[in-house]
A and B are shown apart, each in its own frame.
Chain A
Amino acid sequence: MELESDNLLLLISLGTMVTFFLSGSIIFFVIFYQKKMLQKKMETQKIETDYQRKLLQSTIESQEKERKRIASELHDGVGAMLSATKLNLGMITNGTIPKEELKEVVCESKDMIDETIDTVRRISKDLLPSSLEQFGLAKALEELTEKLSNQNTHVTFELIESKDHTLDVQRQLLTFRIVQELINNALRHSEASLVKVVVKVDDSFQIVVSDNGEGFDLEATRKDIKKGVGLYNIENRVSLLNGEVKFESKEGKGTTISIIFEF
């Protein structure tokens, strides 16, 4: 009798200890796991905010750059030209110009005014490509590629449209700016002889810009803060489009950048 109850007590104690230990380990596992997940979450959050900050900075920087460019174009181009014209007009009214040169000076002034008009037109076109509003994205891109094409680098444009879709002006502009920057990058950095722009419209909107130039190391470029903000701007704009961007580049093998977003 005595022995059996002792055995039974021992069994109870042991069993209790084991189950209690098991439940305790479950609880500690939960604490541990949750802490780890929390840590991970915080890390990714930090990465995200860093990235967001950089994107914001790039937006501000590029806006600032754009303003500076416009300011200098207005100042150096339009301003200088108008000053010169004003000077000419002043001389004409003062009568300091001999009669035989008068016609020449007037012609010169007219030329300068023409040039000013051209510059103003160019600036406004840069700000908002007029063909975009009038004829749509495809036409604007075609125009852009034609304009940027030169003897050293051939820029081609191809539109593959299997479904009829229209983009609102806001998104057309975003797309246009992306392609503009991509072509500019290829022209400036890649030494390519051919830059191809392909726009594919089916269930989604796809843009592929590829060059046969030197290519570059994307990761190294990202880390190098001295490099420009163009790539950030592209990512920024693509994220505004809710799309995805893929960079494929190998040094010496050219660069292909594909962007895809839904309508």
Chain B
Amino acid sequence: MGYYYYIILGVSLTTSFSAFFLGAKWNAYQGYLKYIFVLTLISSIADAINYFALWYYKITAQYFYQLHISFFYRLIEFLLLFEFFKWLVGINRRLVISIQVVAALYFLWCYPEVPYTGLQMIDSTPLRILNCLTFIFMSILALVHYLRKMEIENPIDDPLFFTISSVLMYFSGITFIAAFDWYLQEFDRNASYVSWSFQNLFVILRNVLFGIAFYKQSKQPNGIRV
């Protein structure tokens, strides 16, 4: 395990906190950015715990899973993002229903496994892939929805656009990592650090884009547009 991992994780942590502090104008946001704001907070905390564990206990990647940090993080992430997208595309009933169907499938998928495998196995590879695909699908839907609403003038000035793009890029970036990380660990534990740092690069990208979204939001004249 090289030092680069410390660096990447450190940058990821820094960007999480930066995004969080950029977004720390709670009262300015009613609606969707609150979910994202909470998400950056959770992400910062999870990253901090990871970093501390790595630095202090020299825990290897495999044990991170046993700490359940990534699982709980993903669960909260799912709930927050789901609320976010429900709010975002909730105007169209058909979209809400299809999202709810996906969510129901999500829970149907993990529920029967709990008694046999415990919490550890809920965080299974197919579930993680499904998680990624769900949010890729939702963010594309949100973009389509966004395109339909013509009143948005320039995407570059729109915090909502940055938020959706961030989610889309993040999840499409980590899909393959989520799919093969498990097998990679079976083969070669050290190689899984490489995929972990990949994932953290996307976390950094996501945090930067969230930070931009917060910044753009704070620049908007009357708080929230939507």
Taking the complex as formed, is A13 at the interface, i.e. its CB lies under 8 A from any CB of chain B? yes
A41 surroundings in chain B (CB, below 8 A): 150
**Interface positions of B from 158 to 178, Cβ below 8 Å from A:** 161, 165, 168-169, 172-177
Q: How far is the CA of A37 from the CA of B148 in the complex (A)?
A: 11
Contact between chains at A38 and B154 (CB < 8 Å) = yes
Helix, strand, loop or mixed for chain A's interface?
helix
Taking the complex as formed, is B156 at the interface, i.e. its CB lies under 8 A from any CB of chain A? yes
Contact between chains at B154 and A35 (CB < 8 Å) = yes
B150 surroundings in chain A (CB, below 8 A): 37, 41
A15 surroundings in chain B (CB, below 8 A): 175-176, 179-180
Q: Distance (Å) between the CB of B101 and the closest chain A CB?
A: 23
Contact between chains at A5 and B173 (CB < 8 Å) = no
A16 surroundings in chain B (CB, below 8 A): 173-177, 198
Q: How many of chain A's residues touch chain B, expressed as a range?
A: 20 to 34
Q: Distance (Å) between the CB of B5 and the closest chain A CB?
A: 15
Q: How far is the CA of A26 from the CA of B141 in the complex (A)?
A: 11
What 0/1 readout, one digit per residue, does chain A (174-200) give for beta carbons within 8 Å of chain B? 000000000000000000000000000
Taking the complex as formed, is A107 at the interface, i.e. its CB lies under 8 A from any CB of chain B? no
Contact between chains at B176 and A12 (CB < 8 Å) = yes
Known: A16-B198, A26-B143, A34-B147. A8 touches B183 (CB 8 A): yes
Q: Distance (Å) between the CB of A4 and the closest chain B CB?
A: 6
Q: Distance (Å) between the CB of A251 and the closest chain B CB?
A: 41
Chain B residue nearest to A2 in the complex (CB): B188
A11 surroundings in chain B (CB, below 8 A): 176, 180
Taking the complex as formed, is B57 at the interface, i.e. its CB lies under 8 A from any CB of chain A? no
Contact between chains at A12 and B198 (CB < 8 Å) = yes
Helix, strand, loop or mixed for chain B's interface?
helix
Could you say which of B143, B169, B183 contacts A24, with CB atoms under 8 Å apart? B169
Q: Distance (Å) between the CB of B166 and the closest chain A CB?
A: 10
**Interface positions of A from 1 to 28, Cβ below 8 Å from B:** 1-2, 4-6, 8-9, 11-13, 15-16, 19-20, 22-24, 26-27
Taking the complex as formed, is B184 at the interface, i.e. its CB lies under 8 A from any CB of chain A? yes
Please indicate which of the listed interface residues A27, A35, A38 has the most CB atoms of chain B within 10 Å of its own CB: A27
Could you say which of B153, B183, B194 contacts A38, with CB atoms under 8 Å apart? B153
Contact between chains at B191 and A9 (CB < 8 Å) = yes
B172 surroundings in chain A (CB, below 8 A): 19-20, 22-23
Contact between chains at B136 and A9 (CB < 8 Å) = no
Contact between chains at B198 and A31 (CB < 8 Å) = no
Could you say which of B152, B173, B187, B191 contacts A34, with CB atoms under 8 Å apart? B152
Q: How far is the CA of A239 from the CA of B188 in the complex (A)?
A: 76
Taking the complex as formed, is A33 at the interface, i.e. its CB lies under 8 A from any CB of chain B? yes
B208 surroundings in chain A (CB, below 8 A): none
Chain B residue nearest to A1 in the complex (CB): B187
A1 surroundings in chain B (CB, below 8 A): 187-188
Contact between chains at B165 and A5 (CB < 8 Å) = no
Taking the complex as formed, is B146 at the interface, i.e. its CB lies under 8 A from any CB of chain A? yes
Could you say which of B169, B174, B179, B195 contacts A27, with CB atoms under 8 Å apart? B169
Q: Distance (Å) between the CB of A247 and the closest chain B CB?
A: 32
A71 surroundings in chain B (CB, below 8 A): none
A22 surroundings in chain B (CB, below 8 A): 172
Can you sample 25 A-B contacts with CB below 8 Å?
A1-B187, A2-B188, A4-B187, A9-B191, A9-B194, A12-B180, A12-B181, A15-B175, A15-B176, A15-B180, A16-B198, A19-B175, A20-B172, A20-B173, A22-B172, A23-B168, A23-B169, A24-B169, A26-B143, A27-B143, A30-B143, A30-B155, A30-B161, A34-B155, A35-B155
Q: Which residues of B contact A (CB under 8 A)?
A: 136, 140, 143, 146-147, 150, 152-156, 161, 165, 168-169, 172-177, 179-181, 183-184, 187-188, 191, 194-195, 198
16 further A-B contacts with Cβ under 8 Å, apart from A12-B181, A27-B165, are A5-B184, A5-B191, A8-B180, A8-B191, A9-B194, A9-B195, A11-B180, A12-B176, A12-B184, A15-B180, A22-B172, A26-B168, A34-B147, A34-B154, A35-B155, A41-B150
